[in-house]
Amino acid sequence: MNASDLLLHLNNQQRVAVSAPREHFLVLAGAGSGKTRVLSYRIAWLIEKEKFSPQSIIAVTFTNKAAKELRERVRDLIGINQSDMWIGTFHALSHRFLCSNHMHANLPRDFQILDPDDQLRLLTHLMKGMNIDQKKMEPRQGVWYINDKKEKGLRPGHLTKSFCQVDQIWLRIYKVYQETCDRSGLVDFTELLLRVCELWHCKSEILSHYHKQFTNILVDEFQDTNALQYSWIRALSGEQSKVVIVGDDDQSIYGWRGAQTKNMQQFFKDFPSATTIRLERNYRSTLNILKAANTLISNNNDRLGKELWTKASDGEPILLYCALNAFDEARFVVNCIQLWEKDRKSLCDCAILYRNNSQSREVEEALVQKNIAYQIYSGIRFFQRKEIKDSIAYLRLIVNRNDDVAFERIVNTPRRGIGPHTLETLRQISYQRKITLWMASLELLQNEALSVHVAASALKRFIQLIDSLEALTTNMPLYMQTECILQDSGLWCMYSKEKNEKDQTRIENLEELINTTRQYYSHHSKDTDFVSLKSFLAQSSLDINIANGIQSQDSVQLMTIHASKGLEFSQVFIVGMEEGIFPSQFALKENHRLEEERRLAYVGITRAMKRLMLSYVKNRRIYGKEVSYPLSRFVKEIPDACIKKLHFHFQEKQLIEYKDKNNKGVMHDSGFSVAQRVRHVKFGEGVIMHITGYGEQTRLQVDFRKKGVKWLLAMYAMLEAR
């Protein structure tokens, strides 16, 4: 596509953003307004019209999915090869910078990325070796502490000793953790960015080189940047650089992990000539949904200001269902999905959103009961599955013997007689001598310091195994290396011995790993003559969409509202719209948190394309106690004209318009009704939550105060009405 054709497929606002003069500016892009389209066309415009080299453009995204989509769109527009583009997440681009400058960054050539799961695993083992009570000081808290300090640019040496004993212990843990990572050639996700910022600060000639190279900087989802990420962007922008940021302050929902909406205001202070271009036309939702979203978000203060509009029709009203309890709420959702499926519509076009993961239980039970397929979005990713982590650990240790995390994971996997006592001995030597576990193993064997001969023999065989695997596979193509290591390490045999469904799935995943390395090799061998195991391991740690995974069936999508950002669905359910649930109890105490919760509600609403359903319950059981929360203020802030209220008529088995606010349920032919209080001779007092069947087949679901939820046959239950 040539430059003149690029503007033909854009609306007026998009056209202005794509063809704007090379200056600093913000694209304030509302939900569903085509921001990815604008980003890809802007890159194409700079190359085709402004005649900039692809190597002069760097585009930063927040997710691997967004980076992949942006690369593919640019490629489809103007045919640029992936290897010519600097498009990726902060972490992926930082890794690329560090690989090119590893010596100046004080990193070994074979440094490896420590993903969040392995970061927690390493810290757990280190704290155990330091004899720290993990009941009082949890390793997960340590991860938060370390990442928070790194995001603020603070190394252990920058922190002054505190009078608080707990702070002193955390500082000591941070110091030991960082020493271990440096010794082992490991870099965690936050370290990737911090190490790059430090490299640029200390090596002005390297930063000057990148200033000259990257004259065009584009940043997606700018409202989600934290302090360290903004410092990264600010440092990379030289005198000749022009920075374009794309974002939406109304969709800033990650304050809990360091995102700062004030970075948008800071951008205009650091780049005072910057202007704003607004994208307000929405291509996703009906007018009624947009009216609800616009009115809701207008209750927030200090917004940059925009109002979504559409040429689409009003569409259906937003349905609001008042449920008696969580089970009734789940049944309502499932009944609606059954009607949707009956109309031969895809289940994958339905999404059930909730504020907290714990809210999914009742919905899952209702879906299972009706045999409706569903999938938990953002579940265990391919590279986070146990068998894949085990396999990757072998590959990592072959590349880098000093990788303590990989060593601990596989030293006795499959079991080879290296028990907890031997491992603890290795940890103590490693901690005391400040050497890696691999080096500690060599020292133990050389000094014949292991008292148990069997353990010494097993450890020696493990060392020999890793050395032999490297020697055997060094000159093999990547996929053949992987297959050989899976076979010779014993992993394949271990998972093949058991014939149950779980282990069979693991074998399928190992096959998929081989297939993934084959595809990776095939794809990247076009760009280079040598596809290294090291580069594949870095990609797998960053999880940059290199595994296809096993395709799932058409299914309803369940996820938190946070996880739904960037997605869209024809039919969306948001459950638990109650004060104390959404907004959360924490948010009710602080105004800035309440505004972020409102932005989260805005994100949830704007995921819906055609149909949106909200629900809340009169009584909900939380932590074993029955509570009654009022309707969420976020629902009350939506115009009444946008909403239609519903309740379920049990006897007629249909949804009817909600009219009686005091309705407590319709009497069933059994003589019982939903929400009725009853007493059982054995289980005590309870409340009827659900009734199914008629006559002798009537079954009652009763939530007993002391015994929990029970299903009972009405004719034998001997329930006493209260």
Q: What is the DSSP letter of 550?
A: P
| pLDDT of amino acid 652 | 42
- Of 511, 542, 573, which residue constitutes the final position of a domain? 542
The share of the chain scoring above pLDDT 90, in percent, equals: 57
In a domain, 313, yes or no: no
The residue-averaged pLDDT of 356-382 equals 83
In a domain, 447, yes or no: yes
474 vs 277: which has the higher pLDDT: 277
The residue-averaged pLDDT of 268-293 equals 96
Binding-site residue numbers for ATP are 29-36
Q: Is there a cis peptide before residue 156, judged by omega within 30 degrees of 0?
A: no
Dihedral of alpha carbons 358, 362, 368, 372, sign: negative
Residues 8 and 129 both lie in one domain: no
Instruction: Give the chain's mean pLDDT.
Output: 87
| pLDDT of amino acid 552 | 55
Where do runs of H (alpha helix) occur along 130-188? 139-151, 165-184
Whether pLDDT at 650 is above 50 = no
CB 423 within 8 A of CB 408: yes
Chain segment 409-458, per-residue pLDDT in tens? 999 999 988 988 888 889 888 888 899 999 999 988 888 776 667 788 99
Binding-site residue numbers are 29-36
Which residue has 């700062």 as its token pair? Answer: 260
Residues 395 and 369 both lie in one domain: no
How far is it, in rounded angstroms, from Cα 305 to Cα 290? 15
Residues 506 and 394 both lie in one domain: yes
Q: Is there a cis peptide before residue 414, judged by omega within 30 degrees of 0?
A: yes
| pLDDT of amino acid 288 | 97
Residue 62's contacts (CB-CB under 8 Å, 6 or more residues apart) are 89, 90, 220, 221, 224
In a domain, 648, yes or no: yes
Q: Is 526 exposed, middle or buried (0-12, 13-18, 19+ CB in 10 A)?
A: exposed
| pLDDT of amino acid 314 | 94
| pLDDT of amino acid 390 | 93
Report phi then psi at 113, rounded to 5.
Answer: -90, 135
Chain segment 70-103, per-residue pLDDT in tens? 999 999 998 887 667 899 999 999 999 999 999 9
The residue-averaged pLDDT of 185-197 equals 96
Residues 98 and 116 both lie in one domain: no
How far is it, in rounded angstroms, from Cα 457 to Cα 489? 17
| pLDDT of amino acid 590 | 81
Please, which pLDDT band fits residue 693 given cuts at 50, 70 and 90?
Answer: low
Residues 82 and 197 both lie in one domain: yes
Whether pLDDT at 294 is above 70 = yes
Q: How many domains does the chain have?
A: 5
How far is it, in rounded angstroms, from Cα 258 to Cα 239? 28
CB 404 within 8 A of CB 430: yes
Residue 184 tokens, joined: 């082992």
- Cα-only R_g, the chain: 29
The count of C-alpha atoms lying within 13 angstroms of the C-alpha of 115, restricted to the half-sphere facing its C-beta, is 18
The residue-averaged pLDDT of 466-490 equals 91
Residues 13 and 77 both lie in one domain: yes
Please, which pLDDT band fits residue 63 given cuts at 50, 70 and 90?
Answer: confident
CATH number of the domain that residue 473 is part of: 1.10.486.10
CB 166 within 8 A of CB 156: no
* C-alpha closest to that of 308 among 280, 289, 279: 280
Please, which pLDDT band fits residue 599 given cuts at 50, 70 and 90?
Answer: very high
Q: Strand 677-680 relative to strand 720-721: parallel, antiparallel, unpaired? A: antiparallel
| pLDDT of amino acid 548 | 43
| pLDDT of amino acid 508 | 80
In a domain, 645, yes or no: yes
In a domain, 295, yes or no: no
The share of the chain scoring above pLDDT 70, in percent, equals: 90
| pLDDT of amino acid 522 | 76
Whether pLDDT at 664 is above 50 = no
Residues 213 and 98 both lie in one domain: yes
Which pTM does this prediction carry?
0.81
Of 10-19, 355-364, 441-450, 643-652, the least confident: 643-652
Active site residues: 35-36, 220-221, 251, 607
Residues 164 and 266 both lie in one domain: no
- Of 184, 209, 235, which residue constitutes the final position of a domain? 184
| pLDDT of amino acid 447 | 83
**Helix, strand, or coil here: 371?**
coil
Residues 502 and 402 both lie in one domain: yes
| pLDDT of amino acid 659 | 45
How far is it, in rounded angstroms, from Cα 152 to Cα 131? 28
Residues 350 and 453 both lie in one domain: no
Q: Domain of residue 330: give its range.
A: 318-380+553-657
Residues 263 and 213 both lie in one domain: yes
In 659-706, DSSP assigns E strands to 677-680, 684-692, 699-704
Residues 570 and 690 both lie in one domain: no
How far is it, in rounded angstroms, from Cα 707 to Cα 682? 9
In a domain, 299, yes or no: no
CATH number of the domain that residue 584 is part of: 3.40.50.300
- Of 184, 201, 217, which residue constitutes the final position of a domain? 184
How far is it, in rounded angstroms, from Cα 246 to Cα 42? 11
CATH number of the domain that residue 119 is part of: 1.10.10.160
Which residue has 């499932």 as its token pair? Answer: 334
Chain segment 546-594, per-residue pLDDT in tens? 544 444 578 999 999 999 998 999 999 999 999 999 998 888 888 788 9
Q: What is the DSSP letter of 83?
A: G
Helix (H) or strand (E) holding 245: strand 242-247
Whether pLDDT at 65 is above 90 = no
- Select, from the ranges 521-530, 632-641, 692-701, the one with the highest average predicted confidence (pLDDT): 632-641
Q: Strand 216-219 relative to strand 57-61: parallel, antiparallel, unpaired? A: parallel
| pLDDT of amino acid 706 | 83
In a domain, 291, yes or no: no
In a domain, 641, yes or no: yes
In 580-707, DSSP assigns E strands to 608-617, 620-622, 625-627, 643-649, 654-657, 677-680, 684-692, 699-704
CB 60 within 8 A of CB 39: no
115 vs 653: which has the higher pLDDT: 115
How far is it, in rounded angstroms, from Cα 392 to Cα 382? 12
Whether pLDDT at 283 is above 90 = yes
How far is it, in rounded angstroms, from Cα 320 to Cα 318? 6
The residue-averaged pLDDT of 104-125 equals 92
The pairs formed by 304-308 with CB atoms below 8 angstroms and a separation of 24 or more are: 304/28, 304/249, 304/264, 304/276, 306/28, 306/30, 306/248, 306/250, 306/278, 306/280, 307/280, 308/30, 308/31, 308/32, 308/33, 308/280, 308/281, 308/282, 308/606
